[in-house]
Amino acid sequence: MSRSRKRPRLSSDDLPLDSQNVRGNSSLSQRKGDRDGHFVFMIGENLTPRYKIIRKMGEGTFGRVLECWDRENHDLVAIKVVRSIRKYRHAAKIEIDVLNLLAKNDCANSHCLQIQGWFDYHHHICIVCEKLGPSLFDFLRRNRYCPFPVDLVRDFGRQLLESVAYMHELRLIHTDLKPENILLVSSECLNVPIHKRTSYRCSQDDRKFRCLPKSSAIKLIDFGSTVFENQHHSTIVSTRHYRAPEIILGLGWSYPCDLWSVGCILVEFCLGEALFQTHDNLEHLAMMEKLLGPLPEHMIRKVSSQAVKYFKRGSMLNWPDGTTSRESIRAVRKLDRLKDLIYRNVDDSRTILSNLLSGLLKYDPNERLNAHDALNHPFFLNG
């Protein structure tokens, strides 16, 4: 997967706070932040006297996530050390509020990352959380994008929908659901034999075994883009591959955009790789039409002035247009109808799974399944 999967969100043009004449120990400030405002550290160093840095677990737009030893609780924790840039600090405070709200109302089935606390360290906001395992994207990548068996897709889908239902009950919209933001609770895995019949994609090379998670327990992370339903919504949200059509068409968005993302994620679990591998709006819409049929006219009639250019004669997608590359035409042609895609890649529960997916991938957000209805779908009830 060569194309970037990162969601363009806050641009990184601001200077780090430690180069903005913030009062304090300048030599320490310089050592603690690099030019992008990322926290610079050494393994074994202390992050306050309480936490000892063990290793880096991940890095994102907002900061670095470090595995640390908590000397007070004698436990390992994950600490997100946010970049020392004003807008990221501001976003981190919102993320802390969301994490606290999620923790306050927590029920057994929330499947959301648990916050333990936070502190400010040399202009870096540090969010202390439970330590989890690899993301489902990392897991797929390490297994050469070998798809998950359908029973695991069901377990992951159920938990993911439970966490989305929980957030929506609290009037929160995650807006950035993607395999990178779904973490296995445990890193333990099992080596299992690959059956040629059941896993076509995995059996394309000479490997006889594949790795599967020992436990299917997952948790949702990264609430840095979460918004309250009644708050200001920026026009563009979500990482490209998981972005709902109403966002691309500038029609406004709400809770259903999370369910579209869940649909894309579940297909990805069945295929091993992202469903919509594109970075271009027109190509993205063409891929959707190849998979799901034509966009509804009533949506096309209301598109924003920026999106009008994607259509001709008022109702037809203007694709391919004069600028479409051969590579793009090939990428769209490669896609099948959703049902055929699922039939080609999944062995069990295909009919019921493709029915669930078409409910999650409804163009019209008003017709799309909500999280509760999706959880009551026969794919989950009969599995």
Ligand X SMILES: Nc1ncnc2c1ncn2[C@@H]1O[C@H](COP(=O)(O)OP(=O)(O)OP(=O)(O)O)[C@@H](O)[C@H]1O
Q: Which residues bind ligand X (CB under 6 A)?
A: 57-58, 60-63, 65, 78, 80, 113, 129, 131-132, 135, 180-181, 183, 221-222, 224
Q: What backbone phi and psi angles, to 5 degrees, belong to 64?
A: -110, 145
47 or 150: CB nearest ligand X: 47
Cβ atoms within 10 Å, residue 11: 8
Cβ 296 to ligand X shortest distance, Å: 31
Nearby residues of 132 by Cβ (< 8 Å), 6 or more positions away: 78, 113, 183, 184, 185, 219, 221
65 or 270: CB nearest ligand X: 65
Q: Which amino acid is at 364?
A: D
163 or 354: CB nearest ligand X: 163
- The DSSP result for 304-343, as a single string, is -TTTGGGEETTTEE--S-TT--HHHHHHHHT---HHHHHH
130 or 273: CB nearest ligand X: 130
Closest CB to ligand X belongs to which residue?
60
CA dihedral 243, 244, 249, 255 (to 10 degrees): -120
Cβ 25 to ligand X shortest distance, Å: 26
Return the structure tokens found at 373.
């209805």
29 or 181: CB nearest ligand X: 181
Return the structure tokens found at 309.
């250019």
Cβ 16 to ligand X shortest distance, Å: 15
Which bin fits 252, alpha (ψ -120 to 50), beta or left (φ > 0)? left
Name the active-site residue from 70, 138, 151, 176. 176
- Is 176 noted as a catalytic residue in this protein? yes
- Helices 350-360 & 256-271 angle (0-180, nearest 10): 150
6 or 302: CB nearest ligand X: 6
- The DSSP result for 52-65, as a single string, is EEEEEEEE-SSEEE
Cβ 46 to ligand X shortest distance, Å: 20
Nearby residues of 154 by Cβ (< 8 Å), 6 or more positions away: 349, 379, 380, 383
Q: Are 284 and 335 in contact (CB under 8 A)?
A: no
Q: Which amino acid is at 18?
A: D
Q: What backbone phi and psi angles, to 5 degrees, belong to 212?
A: -130, 150
Cβ 9 to ligand X shortest distance, Å: 7
60 or 296: CB nearest ligand X: 60
Distance separating alpha carbons of residues 335 and 290, to the nearest angstrom = 7
Distance separating alpha carbons of residues 361 and 171, to the nearest angstrom = 22
- The residues annotated with a catalytic role in the active site are 176
